[in-house]
Every structure is written in C-alpha cells, then in structure tokens.
Structure 1
Amino acid sequence: MKRRHWLACCGGAALGAGLFTSLGARSWRNACRGPLPADLAADELVAAALDGLDPARLVDTHAHLLGTGDAGSGCRIHPHLTQAWHPVEHLRRRAILNGACVAEDALSIDTAYVDRLVALAAEFPAGARWWLFAFDEAHDDDGRMRHAWTTFHVPDRWAATVAARHPAHFDWVASVHPYRADAAERLDAALAAGAVALKWLPSAMNIDLADARCRPLYDRLARAGRPLIVHCGAEHAVPGAGRQGLGNPLAVRHPLARGTPVIVAHCASLGRMPDTDRRSAPQRPAFELFARLMDEGHDRLFGDISAVFQRNRGAEVWRTLLRREAWHSRLLHGSDHPLPGVVPLFSLPALQRAGLLADDDAPVLDRLRHHNPLLFDLVLQRRLRDGAARLPAAVFEARALDLLRLPR
C-alpha cells in the first residue's frame, strides 16, 4: 500500500498522528515550547512572510474550537476518544491535544484550549483575525440527533462566547444541522448574533446537500451574503456518521444554484468521489471535481487552503494551487487549527523533494511549529513556490470576501 494511501486510510488529518503509535516519542510530539523567542520572531523568514500583508486584512477562515464541557462550554467529545480500549480514537484525542498544546490532565480542557489559542493569536500583528467554528451534532435522516455518530460537538453559543470575549482576534462561525426541526430559526438567531458563516461537514454530520431541508438555510445565507463552509472530499479526522459520499464537491452546485456563497474547505483535496456528471465513469479525485467547478466560473464559489499542504496530499494538488492564477482571487487562507501543531501531519522534506520549499527554509519552519503552529502554517504557505508561481497576498488578506457583505 502506498504511504499516502496508508496515511489517508488510517487517518488523513488528526488521526494521521495515530500511525505513530508511540506518541511519547519526542520526534513525533509537538514540544510546545511557549512564546516565540526574540530571535525567531525577528527571523528574516518570518519577516519576509509577513512583509506585504496588511495585518488589518489577515484572516484565517478555518480554525476549530474543541472542548469537553468541563468549564460549562457545552462542548463534548465521543466517549471512545477517552477510552484506551478504542486505541485509534484514544490516539486521535492525544494527537489533537498535543497539537493544541493542551495537557491531557489540564484542570479545564475548555479553558486551556482557548487560552493557548489566544496566546498564539497575540503573537501575530495586530488586526489579524481567526474564524472559530462551532460544530453541530450528527443527525439521522429523520432529523433525530445521534450522539453515537458525533465525534465532537461545539455549540454555537460557545463559539459566540469565545469571540465576544476576545473581539480583537476572533469571529465565529455557526453550525446548524439542516435536518433539525428548528434549523431556520437557529440560523436566523446565529446570523443576528454575528455569525460570519455556517459550517457543515456532510460526511460526519449526515447532510445531503441536495436535500430539500437545506434550501431554507441556503436562501437565508444568500440573502445575508454569508458563506456556507462545507467540507468536500474524503474525511478521516472526524469520522462521525461515516457518509463519505456526501462529501462530493459536485454537490455544492445545489447551494450555488440558490445564490449561496460556498467555501469548499481544503479545496476538496483528499480522496476520490463519483463523477455524477458522467454516471458510468469511474470515481475521480475529489480535487479534480473541485477544479471542474472552479473552471465553470461560479462567482460565489471559493476554496480554503487549510490542510492542503499536509503530507497526505499529493504534489499535483500543491502545484495546481500554486500555479492556477485564475483561482487565486477565490482562494482563502485557513489553518485548520489545531492540526498545524500535530507534527507528523506536515512533511517539510516532502515539500522540499517536490521543489516547492527551499532547503534553507526548513530549519526555521521546524523550529517555528514548536512555538506557534499558526504562524508556522502561515509562513509555510507564504514560502511555497513552484518556480515563480506562489500564493499571492490576496489569499491571506481574504480579498475574496470583498465579494460578500461580511464585517471585517
């Protein structure tokens, strides 16, 4: 089995760290070394990455909140994540907590997670912002909440609370399952409370983008000029309901047809999906189907580049995103926090072998990710080049959002 396929099957994102069954091994753990030392903050590589960016426009459009509810957040995780007799799930939790630099025995996981995120954000130039995601429960086809299918849950009110407590750094993204009986009312309340977008992960939550119950939410988002952030492509970090086929990027034509702005998370850069345009055709890479949509010229279709430079993506994906200048005005920076802190997920040598990362950049980047994974992710994305092709400042300044009516 090819290494990349093995990584994808065994846990493409956070779960990828579970391959390295000894998370105690220092080489695979984030050292969580604390604040940036002065010499690293002033390093010319970091300075060059920030140079030319307007801090007041710097936006990370894909960052997760997580918690256990131990501080009244209402968050929860699936019980298997804490049970050693479910080793894959148990390792998933350990990897995520290490990536977030939250001690497993912290007095409050809720509080420690947010405190660490605030500390990371404070090391960026003033004005930089992060979109923090709520994450709704999975529901079955009859609209019943299914705790057993829910890998983790972050209620809207917690995301809104964290953003309100730290208005200099954060906005929040709602998550409302469309099969809820009160879905429209919940979305109305979230938009009124300042949510900048709506987040769905169809395969984990069990959401069919073609379902008629989605349409009232599409219409509300279209009227408000707020985007739907939808995960497309394969999903391994959050198995949830396990409905991988619901992540087909071609399905986003349904919200697009109703005028809804859509941000395809990760540019659908992982896995294969049926080519529903050609019923008899074999499955195609999800990224190829995303590219088809991008080339169709939908003016409300965007992609975020969170996680796309992880080791379980291929060099063809990396090069396409760097080279396709016609796409750049519709691409958005995202980190998929806390995943940049999960050390095994990123292979700097693989990016070097692909000719996209200078050898001299790797030592600073490797050091940076043990201090500030968010800054590591930004600097990495800024340094990648395929010849003269690179991601422009507009991707990191979220210029694509100028097409929408979003507060900044």
Structure 2
Amino acid sequence: MRLELSPPARSARPARTRPRLFAAAAVVTVGLLAIGAGPANAATTIDGPINLGTAAGYGVLAASAVTNTGATTINGDLGLSPESSVTGFPPGIVNGTQNVTNEPAALAQNDLLTAMGVASSLTPTTQGVGELTGLNLTPGVYSGGVISLSGNLTLTGTAESVWIFQAASRLDTFTGASIILAGGASACNVFWRVGSSATLDAGAPFVGTVLADTSISTGSGTVVEGRLLASTGAVTLINTVINRPTGCDDGSGSEVTTSPEITSAPLPGGTVGTTYDSTVTSTGSPDATYTVTSGALPPGLVLDSVTGGVTGTPTTPGTYTVTITASNGSAPDDSIESTIVIVPPGTPQVPGQPAVPAGDMTRLPDTGFQGSTLAIVAGSLLGLGLLAGIASVIVRRRRRDQLGG
C-alpha cells in the first residue's frame, strides 16, 4: 500500500520576485524580465515499511550497554556495539543470537542509522501530536515533540498499512497504556522514531519498533510486540517480554520518494538567430520530467522533457511567458514561470541578464537604470550645481565690493 503524505508547513525557499522600485534623484530601477513562480513544498514519502536491514532480526540492539533485571525474555537477537557491557542474562533469556562487540552488531548499528535517517526524512501527514490516548489513527506519518500514551490508542488499517511516529524529543508510555491493532494492521509496520530517549512504563503493552537516538528503558511487566533499537545509548530492561515481529516484509522493496523542487532561476532572454541553451533543474527522487503547463516557449525553442534543457534558435522577437512544471509521480509537483524576452539581432545584452529590446529606454540590461532618465537627471543635477556655484561666487564678490567701498 502506497502512503500518500501531505507536506508540512515549512519555511519557503527564497521566492523569485520582482525587485522593489527605488525613487531617487539619479537612480531609477526597473522590474525583472524573468519572474519565477512561488516554490512548491517538497514531500518525502515511502510506499511500504522502513527497511531495517540486518537490524530487523534484533529484539534489542544498543550501543553503550544492555542491562536487565529479573525474568526478561527476548524472542529475537540481542546486539551491542561498540561497547561490550551486557548484564542480567541470566536470569534474562535470549531466544536468539547474542552479538556483542562483533561485526554483525556493528553492521546492525549501521543499518539502524540508515533506517533512522529514512524515518526522519518522511513528510508528516499530521504534525503537532502529543498525547495519543483515545485516538484512532489511519496509516500515515505523525510528528510531534514529546509523544506520550497513557490510555488506549487504536491503529486501523490492513496488513500492508504503515504507521510512523516522529517524536523530536521523547516517547513516554504509562501504566494503563495500550496499543490496539484493528482491521488486520500488523506490528511489523509500526515505527517510533525518537529524537532522544523512550520510556515504556510498568505493565504497558507496546506495539512497534522503537528507533531511538539515545536510550530505551522498560518498566516491570512491559510486553513489547516489536523491537527496541538504540543507536548511541543503552537499553535497560526490567521483567520485560520482547517479541520481535515475524513474517514481516523487511522493507527492502520499499521505495522512498521525494517530490521535485525546482532549483534553477527563471529562463533568461535571447536574441533572434543566436543559439539559445538554458536548463530547468530540480531536486527529488526519482528524477523529474518536465512539461510546459502554461503559455509557450518562443518560436524556435524546444523543451527536453527528460533533462529540462530549453534549446534552439529563436526566430521571432517578442515577450513570451511560459510555465514549466517538474513531476516525478510524488506530489506535489513544482513549477517555475519565466518571462522570456527575445530581441532582434544586434541588441546589446549582458551575460546572465535578460535581453532588452532596442530602443526600450525603460530598462538597461547591465544596471537596471533608466538610460535616458539617468542622463537627463544627472545632467540636470550637474547644471543646477554649476549654477548654484556661480551664483554663490557672484554674491560673495558683491558683498566684498560693498564692504570695500
């Protein structure tokens, strides 16, 4: 099942806008000839569970230590890397392999870091979640600061449905908390990405794989249908049962996609009879294709839908407004609008600046100043300055003559 995730509110990248008009005695600026449309918000999605790599086989994986008190049972592997402190087994039982400070444990930690990066990159369906008690959530990506659970949370979906919770700070569950899977939903596909530490309190049944930056701890009587994976800290267990999910899709076939975001400036102007070569570029995965969705390119120019290149030889002077859209199958698309001025042969141009038709005194391509206006204003100011100076000299001489007389 493919998750279609809506983008979060975020800071927009610098808008492509017209410059402001400054009024001054000798400076007159003009509008740009190429104007970009506002950017779309890129969204990163995944069409299946997160690929845990070799970390998928572990019920517990830690970096600094694994500590147990009491009758804990881990139905899955136990791993520790790079440190070597594993205590409390026995009395704890590991129904799997113990990999401590060895190559498999190090590889699992590397795979965990990759999985955490993917989980963090996904665009939330819902932002600002906190206390989850009483909610019935459909598949998606849910983000918040501290995420907590003190009562019942229901996850309703199918065996292919995926839930990803992004806690920027902590994950805390309390006595009386419970996660209910409905409609065929599977513990294989529930992931908790935690920015610091997770605490699963005493007696709280828990569902899903915890991917924590630092540490994870459980209270006595906690039952986990999932995995406890910590990338830099310890996993501390007290009388806990951990059942690593079995029969899961390992996520290796899941595709992470990022919607396109155009990174190039609006297309520049050109000259009739002169080869034109510019490119619309974008980020995103997979690569985008490009189409003209509004307006038209100047006659003689064509768009390469694969590379985004706009090439050819302009044949007709004029001003042409065109919108080019980048699409890669992951919403939203991104578009850029350009106003392309094509001028007759011999019209001066400055590299990197849009062309200006000959005789158009409203724009200067090199400075943006108004040519005739600048000359007139500058000349006027110079003339006024000379006249004022002459008048001042005449006045001083008259006063001196009067005093002398």
TM range (shorter): under 0.3
More strand by share: 2
Relative contact order (C-alpha < 8 Å, sep 6+): which is higher? 1
Q: TM-score, normalised by structure 1?
A: 0.25
More helix by share: 1
